[in-house]
Every structure is written in C-alpha cells, then in structure tokens.
Amino acid sequence: MAFYVAIVVEAALLALWANEEHRAATPIHGADLAAVIWGTTVGLALAHLLAFQLAAGGMARGRAGRTDVTLMAAQVAGAAFVALVCTVPVLLGDHEGALHRAIWAPELIIATAGYTSARTSGRGHARSALIGVGAALAALAVALLKNRLLGH
C-alpha cells in the first residue's frame, strides 16, 4: 500500500503545483500542505483497509483475525512512513519552495524501493539504479496520467 499511497500523494502534489503554476489556485504551503499530504494518506489508508476487509471476508466474519490485524498494521505503518517522508521537505526551508521540495519525496521513496528490491534480488549497483529510476519514472507517469484523466 505504501507505493500506492506514494503515487497518489505525488499526484495530489503535482495537481497542486499545476494549479499554482496556472494561477488557478492560491499557493499552498506549511501546515495546509502537510494537511493535504496527511489527509490524502489517511483517506487512502482507511479506504484500503475497508476494501481489504471486504475482499478478505473480514466483514462477514464479524472481526479481523490476528493475521489481518498484522497486515493492516503493516499497511498503515507504510502509509504513515510515506506521509512522514513527504512532510519533512514541507517543514524544511522556506514556505515558498515547500511544494516543489515535497513533490520529490514520493519519487525518492519509489526509486529507493526499486533499487533496494533489485539489489536484494542479486542485481548489480548500476542495473539496480536503472531499475530504481525506472520505477520512479513509471510512478511519475501514473501520477501524471491520473491527473490528466481527472482534468487537473
């Protein structure tokens, strides 16, 4: 779920940036920008947990089992990690550049995960770096497509 959250947070940040660039919206920064990041993350996490319970039959059983709870906790932790990493650039530096800095955070998360995954699969540093960059570019393409389809 963390990668899904990273892509959707990136799409939200890109939409804010596009609207700001076209003067279609007031620039957003500081606590308001952090609220967008955390609100998007919490909303996605809750929607995902509900969908997970429906798909896994947890609603029919009446309560989640131990494995379900462990998986849900891991998913929420991953989502919170994404939100935290995306919030750090908002808190650092001037307010004016916060959005531009925050846009890079989801890309770094995805690139790092792609690189790490490739390295643990036995690939070399150069090939792993290409996989990481490819994963980040694919995520960016998905975020841009999402915004394009929504008209942002």
Type of residue numbered 109: I
pTM of the model: 0.83
Type of residue numbered 10: E
Q: Is the pLDDT of residue 152 over 60?
A: no
Domain that holds residue 100: 2-150
pLDDT tens digit string along 31-42? 999 999 999 999
- What is the predicted pLDDT for the residue at 61? 63
Type of residue numbered 43: G
Domain tally, the chain:
1
